[in-house]
Amino acid sequence: MRVAIVGASGAVGRELLALLEERRFPLSQLRLFASPRSAGREVAFAGGRLVVEALPESGDLGADLVFSSAGGAVSRQHAWRWVERGAVVVDNTSAWRLDPRVPLVVPEVNPAALDGHAGVIANPNCSTIIALLALAPLHRAFGLTRATVATYQAVSGAGAEGIAELRRQSAEALAAEAAPSGEPGAYDARPEKFRHPIAFNLFSHDSEVLDDGYNEEERKLALESRKILEAPELAVSATCVRVPVFRAHAEAIHAEFARPVSEAEARAVLAAAPGVRLVDDRAANTFPMPVTASGQDDVLVGRLRADASRPGAIALFVAGDQVRKGAALNAVQIAEALVARAAVA
């Protein structure tokens, strides 16, 4: 199978490359595409070197499988043209996620949605994937009716520039003269990628705020969850927040169900859920954290407890690697599922 990565020099593109090698994805050829700025760069892969190419206007990537990870504008413009040229496209952007022609897939949750796809398959938003690894099995068992979510989202969700900005600002804040309390004193944050300082700060997610007061990220979490779970009535309210963490998202969730659910019932379901690892050690006060979720394939789930504010509801806390399961790994798993179904040539 001839594979192409579009957006190969971004944070997710680099992770895709690493995962294809690590998971010995059955490819016969790999081509890397990026913006003209990155074209010509050499990248190590499987003991050899690949040269990054500029994306051809022709739309012919010479690939059977395309991972599209260069932003929504590129996917909106090119995805179906690549399909016309014979490729299956796994789209990491938000461009086609809610399109009725396009399956929106988390392989542990709804692999059957891949059946009869039209050529483009969408990879969900990172916060959605990470939440659903825990919520989907609970939904299947108990009928999820409502979820409220507060996120703690890493800067990697804004790509390599987000990572660089957190690093730069943190160093400059620490270099500033400290207050007597030990807190950093004034420094010039010079926000570029984000509108507000991210070092030792947090802010409401950097996506557009819509008329109802929810931002795009929060809307994605609601609408994508409904589509993936095939639960059009599911009530979701999220508050999405960017925190000074490099690459794993966490989420505090309150979940309500069609029938009362006990902590023990929820625990039994989650202990058996694919892609989930329970990290819930009350005595050691050890629960899911970004540092332990980073680099892991599994989403960590803990703080599992009966919701003290509503009988039969459940509270929990999850953390997952935003770049891996939240993006690149889920995309590769979609591709692997396609291969297993012989849905890619």
Q: Of residues 212, 232, 233, 342, which one binds a copy of itself by CB under 8 A?
A: 212
Candidate list 126, 139, 205, 240, residue with the active-site label? 126
- Residue 264 found at the interface with a copy of itself (CB under 8 A): no
**Count of C-beta atoms within a 10 Å radius of residue 146:** 15
> 267-296: which residues touch a copy of itself (CB under 8 A)?
282-287, 289-291
Q: Which is nearer to a copy of itself, 44 or 345 (CB)?
A: 44
Give whole-number Cα distances, 92 to 12, 175, 220, 235, 252, in Å: 9, 37, 13, 25, 24
Scanning 26-34, 89-97, 104-112, 233-241 for contacts with a copy of itself by CB under 8 A, the matching segment is 233-241
Q: Of residues 104, 132, 134, 163, which one binds a copy of itself by CB under 8 A?
A: 163
- Residue 192 found at the interface with a copy of itself (CB under 8 A): no
Q: Is 126 a catalytic residue?
A: yes
Q: Is 249 a catalytic residue?
A: yes
Round the CA-based radius of gyration of the chain to a whole number and report it: 21
Q: Of 322, 291, 297, which is closest to residue 10 (Cα–Cα)?
A: 322
- Residue 49 found at the interface with a copy of itself (CB under 8 A): no
> How buried is 248 (Cβ within 10 angstroms: 0-12 exposed, 13-18 middle, 19+ buried)?
buried
Which residues contact residue 323 at a Cβ distance below 8 angstroms, ignoring those fewer than 6 apart? 11, 12, 15, 156, 247
Shortest gap between Cβ of 212 and a copy of itself (angstroms)? Answer: 6
> 128-147: which residues touch a copy of itself (CB under 8 A)?
146-147
User: Going along 35-104, which residue ranges are E strands?
Assistant: 42-45, 48-54, 65-68, 88-91
Q: Of residues 164, 231, 271, 343, which one binds a copy of itself by CB under 8 A?
A: 164
Q: Which is nearer to a copy of itself, 11 or 63 (CB)?
A: 11
Burial 66-98 (b: 16+ CB within 10 A, else e): bbbbbbeebbeebbbebbebebbbbbbbbbbbe
Q: Of 4, 74, 14, 5, which is closest to residue 43 (Cα–Cα)?
A: 14
Quickly list H helices, the chain.
11-22, 72-84, 126-142, 159-175, 216-229, 263-271, 290-293, 329-340
Q: How far apart are CA 25 and CA 206, in angstroms?
A: 34
Shortest gap between Cβ of 64 and a copy of itself (angstroms)? Answer: 28
Scanning 46-54, 79-87, 229-237, 333-341 for contacts with a copy of itself by CB under 8 A, the matching segment is 229-237
Give whole-number Cα distances, 331 to 84, 229, 328, in Å: 21, 18, 5
- Residue 7 found at the interface with a copy of itself (CB under 8 A): no
- Residue 176 found at the interface with a copy of itself (CB under 8 A): no
Q: Of residues 203, 260, 265, 343, which one binds a copy of itself by CB under 8 A?
A: 203
Q: Of residues 254, 271, 312, 344, which one binds a copy of itself by CB under 8 A?
A: 254
Shortest gap between Cβ of 83 and a copy of itself (angstroms)? Answer: 31
- Residue 195 found at the interface with a copy of itself (CB under 8 A): yes
- Residue 17 found at the interface with a copy of itself (CB under 8 A): no
Q: How far apart are CA 196 and CA 261, in angstroms?
A: 41
Q: Which is nearer to a copy of itself, 80 or 246 (CB)?
A: 246
Q: How far apart are CA 326 and CA 152, in angstroms?
A: 13
Q: Which is nearer to a copy of itself, 39 or 164 (CB)?
A: 164
> 90-119: which residues touch a copy of itself (CB under 8 A)?
none
Q: Which is nearer to a copy of itself, 36 or 180 (CB)?
A: 180
- Residue 11 found at the interface with a copy of itself (CB under 8 A): yes
Catalytic residue numbers read 126, 249
